[in-house]
Structure 1
């Protein structure tokens, strides 16, 4: 790898400068060769030139002078019991062997033959070279680190000061290296680490350059348990802070634009579909009050989408808590209190041993939707009123009160004012719930939305059933448009599903329309019989046609005039003539 030194083998460092002599050569001759070649060792071989011994100057110095002058062969003085090493061994292993056996050289042998010599000075030179190479690499790495790096010894002298330190603090390395850090930075964080020998993480400070912001991390350096210095890395976060500010501005602008879009886009209010004037007004009012804490009462016939509307209000309000819907007509009277407020462990027979939180605790910081609020018993009405006033609940069987922050949206298809007169609903609760009142129009008053809803339900139901979306015969569409839809959107959706699952072809025909719808439409058509008097018949036809055009245009007279293919002034005249409002 780039930084980790590769394993150095003996063959890379061994010397080829050595003297090899025959074991019968005279000792004095061998000594002359050593002195002449400036070598302090000599190697002895046999007839096959295989290494059998070695002799050093130190060994020769221990012999007698008489032995040198008597022509004695070197074999009488050589060291036979010697350590050898292979060329494929690591230089580190070679060094360890020499230190362990207290020798200054190792012959490198292959198949018994001498091929080189490893001496202590060669190992030293090789390691020095490797250290220099490693130091150069480390210096390159440190200078290419994005952070400013500073290392000091235990006395505070700077030993590392990289290029980013020069750039950040405007101090050149040749000025600070070897000097005490406090001479340049008397309040430097690294000085604190030198005193405490404890790390400092992510401390913000401003360097001498006032246009920069820096985060400093400093660590003490321990080697084998001994404190030897400290290191710091300084990160320039000026650009990060600038980008963070820009991002915050962009987020604020985006949030503002999202809110503005939500104000004007009816398509962005939950899953509510429709363009009718009455529905649009209800959506606008809901948007306006959604982000307040005001209680909302939604009035409308069954199937008009009161829960869908309330869920859209909750989503638009951006409240952190949950949306918890509750159908008041589906809760047994004896369980109202425990469902609304929860109960403590063992509060009554059959209760959960751990207790249970009620819907108001569950919806804390969120929204509770009380559907069919008119079916709430009078006793519970009083307790609900108290929760709305005090903003706290007490569990059944409990003694302490629990603070709650809950927005209440209630809904009903009944006339609460009439119920108040009949003493079936508390007047004070009514006014607490009815801070803002929303009236959802029935589908028969949203004539223009029927086609939109049909196509929406058609797509959804076909997707759910993996069916190809069929066409709708124009006659079928006209029948569905003219039906009064007493069950409103819920009935319309069920009818579309009926048509989809029964259709066998790629088109929905009249014979698939439910019988009760056909009977209703036929009855309505039959009731529109005209009198025999031609003038009266023409008058009735004009009135019916004008009313139909106004219904299709949702009261827009300009559109109605276009449908009728008459000038707007003529439409005004006819409406006044027939007293059509």
Structure 2
């Protein structure tokens, strides 16, 4: 199958998502477009003719330079190699290798119809990777992640170029050797021993490097054949983001002075994971329309931030009015939403009051926790959305309103419709476009970015020196199940930042409830690993003894029938000093 795939025509796997730029375009605009939209390259046109290609690597080379004096034609690759749609993959692969390029434009009848990228080639050839070791090496050397594969003896059988650059160890130095001889504390070795996978584990292999590693045992017919691990270097992303932000800040200031323009509101939504990028793309696409949007997701996932970004990106001149439906008493819903005339009821303001709809006229009304709105009020809200007019409490005249509705909830409204606790007509009226936000545990690769952002923000606000974070703490934060999502993470980072007395946040600063919850989860998780089971039993017995002894460690050691020094050693090992 692998060899047969060489004769496949380019048109079978070429990408049709081609992105263009004019040769006169501003370089900063091209940079912003590529990095914001996670694109690989931009094709440069002159009078509709293809004259060059600008890639991310080209942009890396000019970071830190005065780009205002550069033109696209100065940085683009001008010697373009192209193929026709009937060209074979074998020929395309040879061209890429010979010319050390990662993409080739595809033409049909002298018309540009697509582009073949090294990623597309790589994914296609993966299907038959076991038929050609040389092809495997070429493919793996061109992926962005560091890749390591061990055999059933713990020896390295695959070590790609990204691993070489990340660890400073050449393939010929380590291939065929035992990994433990080079990296005795490698996570791959722990997986080799436990035979259990780890996913998205943060660690720092050396100073200045930040990676997320995933590793899994390789089982074939129930037998362990080795371990495979991939590591994503996020230090490049963070460094590039810092450089880009500096350049963008300078550009935004200039733009504001000349045109009084604001930055893209979606930039404020943190995250580089595929899930959150996809949600931002949907939100940006529908922002300038007037359709109703329903944002769903667990509490603390950033629903209001998304609503604000949609409102700001829409370009409307009216206000963004947030309303927490769960915080309004039933008897006040009508007067709060529609307002009232002066003297409408006892205790009313003499001058009357504008309701939420009037406040948001020409703008956006954000109905948070809409699932908590009383069924009686749902009917009145539906009427307003249909008729686009309101009548104040105590008033006679109808007032026309032009308001966009963005709703949010952490409840299953469709189930509530079935239970007759939410009106079906209202559900479909507010849910023209649905955006379901992922929980934090579904986007663990973003946790490091959130922690870095919150830490800088909190320390700046409180005029504190920004401390470093110990890798054990970051591993814990990445592995923790965030029931409160982003909101809980920010609170925890704020607590640790404020309580930190030195220049590094250590594991002792992790809130006690998180340690306790993490231990409880481990205790509830069955395992056949004898060492792990013994540790869990020890933790349980020590906690029980400390509780019965009311925190007296001498008494607790007596109950456990172990020396006090042994108890102290185990409490330190299991981080139980703050248990009581």
TM-score normalized with structure 2 length: 0.46
Name the TM-score, length of structure 1 as normaliser: 0.46
Higher-Rg structure is 1
